[in-house]
Each structure stands twice: as structure tokens, then as C-alpha cells.
Amino acid sequence: MMRVVRPLVARRTWQRWAHLVVGGALLMPFWFLAITFTPLMPVDDILVTTVLALVVLPMAATFVTGLVPTVRLLEGSLARELLKGPAAALVPGSARSWESRIRAGAWFSLHLGAGVVISGLSLAVPPFAFVMIVAPMVTWDSAFLDSWGFESTWHQWPAPPIGLASMAALLALIVGTGTLLSRLAPWFLGPSAAERLADMEARAVKLAERNRLARELHDSVGHALSVVTLQAGAAGRVLDSDPAFAREALGAIEESARAALEDLDHVLGLLREDPSRPAPQATLEDLGRLLEQMRIAGVKLDADVGPGVERVPAAVSREAYRIVQEGLTNALRHAGKVPVRLRLAVEGERLEMEMSNPLGAHQGDEAGPSLSGVGGGRGLGGVRERVTVLRGEMIAGPDGDIWRFHVSLPLRSGT
């Protein structure tokens, strides 16, 4: 019993019925136009004329109308809101290809055709069912039959079951048709293969941009905070005994904080899509300032920078600066104030970078926390992403009791 009653009270049933009724109402103008123009056609057969006026011409007109790109947007929104089920996952949008237009045109014809059938039955079946159900309890049924020349002595006992069965059949038809349309809607109104590929490419571009911003924040702001923390600690310890060094450390803190604010301002500008904010362009020409900041922070740095490094192409120079910055920052974070050796040289058509330091407490394997933010594990991944973008090579890991980090970048694309 509940299986019969449940569809009657289910909100989804009547939402789908409303979707079908809307389709029936939308078909009326096409029907009127077909009925108007069919008599003008050179056809004498009444059956053929009727089929043309009621089926062929209206369906052809709805299909052509469905080719309009906006129809797909409207039908997708209507299906998502009223059909629910699988159709609820639809993302409404205008048709962007002829394949999508043809599928939308076919759906429009299907929606309106099914809708006019359900609408007609919804108007005809309930009055019929009412008459059949109350027939045994009234006498006007005999007068009705007599007026049409039928025998008035008909068996009335099957009438109520017939009326109830007709209403049940109508309800089953509404539920079945609504369910079928809900399952078909994603195929007719969903994205084509080309549209799915375009959407995936757009998401990939957006994800790549987000990852780039995350790398910039991690490398620039993370580096600045690490260096500032150590410089502030060093300045505090020698404030009384070595005021000159303390002043130098405070100046370096100010410079690091200012650079970090510029980087942060640039990243926030990108998130707000504000083109007026200039992009920070730290390159290998600024390497001297970076190395000096690390020395002030207490790192014993042995740097060997070969000739011509500052003249490498700008794209390579910017990424190389960030890679060196990340390597030095993580050596400081995870190994402490240990000696760090940095070698940077142009060899042929490649820029070679090598960094090494004694292993710290948190350095031990390539996939571990070395070259990563404290607790974040993103540093090594960020460096790999930069190297991959430039089609370079990277090796990082322990070598005995030494952590070695080597990066080789081509100076030109494809080399």
C-alpha cells in the first residue's frame, strides 16, 4: 500500500509533473502555427494532413528552436531544478558546438512531446476517473447513456475499479516518464567531449596558477619569516656586546620583511586579479643580497658563483633564485647553523646548482621533511615543480652524513 501512496505524496513526483506540464504548454504555440500553415500545403489526404499538423511540423519546429544556444541553458536549468535525480548534477550553459545544439534540439522535442501527452492525460483522466468512481452512487449516468443511444442497463460495479486503475496508470506514467527524462537529461544536456576537455584544461590552468601562487608564498614569505626569526634572535643575543652587529641584523630584518611584504602584496593582487600590482622580479642578480642575509642570520656560507650566472635568461634566473632561496632556507630550518656550501655555474647550455650541508636532525631521505616547510612538506615538491616547468633535472638526498641538493636547468627551451 505504501508503495502506491508514496509517489502521491513525494515532492519529486509533482516537480517532474510540473516539468512535463511546462513542456506541454511550450508546445502550444508550435501546434497553433502548424495548424495554421498545414492547410496551405498541397496535401488532400486528411490523415496525412492531421499527422503533419499535430506531429511532424510541431516536432520539427521544436527541434529547430532547440538549436538556439540559449535553449540548452534554459532547458538545463529547468531540468536541474525540477527533474532532480541524475539531472541535478547538470551545469547549465549555452551550447558551444553543433553537437551540443543537436542534442539540445532533440531534448527540446522530447520534452515538449512527452509534456503534451502527460498534460492531455492530466486533463482527461481525472474527470473520467471521477465519473467512473461515483457512477454506482448516482442516476445521471443513465441519462447520459440514453442521450447517446446506449443501453441504460449497464453493469456499474466495475466502474470504480476502472476509475481507480486509470488514476493509478496516470500516476505510474507520470513517475516513469519523469524518471526516464531525469536519466536522459545528462546525456542530452550535458557537456560534449570537446566541452569536457575545455573545462578540464581551464581547471588545469587554474590549478597550476594556484600552485604557482602557493610556491611563491612558501618560498618568499616562508624564507623571510625563517631568516627574520634567526636574525632577531642573533641581534638579541649580541645587543649589549656587539651593538654594530645588532644594528646590521635589524637592518637585514627590515629589508627581509619589506621584500616579503612586496611578494605578499603581489600574490594578493593576483588573487584579486588586480593588474596594477607589479610582480617582484628577484633574479640571480639579487643573489648577493640573499647570501648576505643568510650570513647575518648565522649561516656559515661558502658560496662559489661562477662568471656569467647573472646573465642567464630572465625566466631561468627568476626560478633559479627561488630554488637557491628555498635550499638555503631549509638548510637553516632543518640542519641549523651548519656550514653550507653553494656552487652556481654556467656549463655549456645549462645552469648547474649544487648545495650541500651536514645532515640535521630532520634531514635523512629525499621524501622527508628536508627542502620542505616546517611540518608542511611542500618545499621539495615546489622545487620539483619549478625544475619540471623548465625541463631541468633535480637530485636531492643524503650522501653519507652530508645532504646534497643538485639542480641542472637548461638555459633555453628544448636544450
Domains with residue ranges and CATH for the chain: 2-191 (no CATH), 198-410 (3.30.565.10)
In eight-state DSSP terms, residue 218 is: I
CA dihedral defined by 217, 223, 229, 230, rounded to 10 degrees?
A: 170
- Which contiguous run of DSSP H or E holds residue 343? strand 340-347
Average pLDDT over residues 64-84: 93
φ, ψ for residue 344 (rounded to 5)? -135, 125
How far apart CA 354 and CA 349 sit, in angstroms, is 16
pLDDT in tens, 172-190: 999 999 999 999 999 999 8
Indicate whether this model's pTM tops 0.85. no
How far apart CA 71 and CA 101 sit, in angstroms, is 9
Most confident of 8-12, 60-64, 205-209: 60-64
pLDDT band at 370 (very low <50, low <70, confident <90, very high): very low
Grid coordinates of 221: 614569505
pLDDT in tens, 265-293: 766 666 666 555 555 567 888 888 888 87
Give SS3 for 148: coil
Determine how β-strand 340-347 pairs with β-strand 350-358: antiparallel
Range in 101-110, 199-208, 291-300, 372-381 the model is least confident about: 372-381
- Which contiguous run of DSSP H or E holds residue 344? strand 340-347
The DSSP result for 269-328, as a single string, is HHHTT-TTSPPP---GGGHHHHHHHHHHTT--EEEEE-TTGGGS-HHHHHHHHHHHHHHH
How far apart CA 71 and CA 61 sit, in angstroms, is 13
pLDDT in tens, 203-261: 777 776 677 666 666 666 666 666 677 667 767 777 777 777 777 777 777 777 777 77
Query: Are 151 and 127 in contact, with CB atoms under 8 Å apart?
Result: no
pLDDT in tens, 331-354: 777 666 778 899 999 988 899 999
Q: Which amino acid is it at 52?
A: L
Task: Evaluate if residue 85 carries a pLDDT over 80.
Answer: yes
Stated length of the chain = 415
Sheet with 350-358, strands from edge to edge, namely: 301-305, 340-347, 350-358, 402-410, 393-399
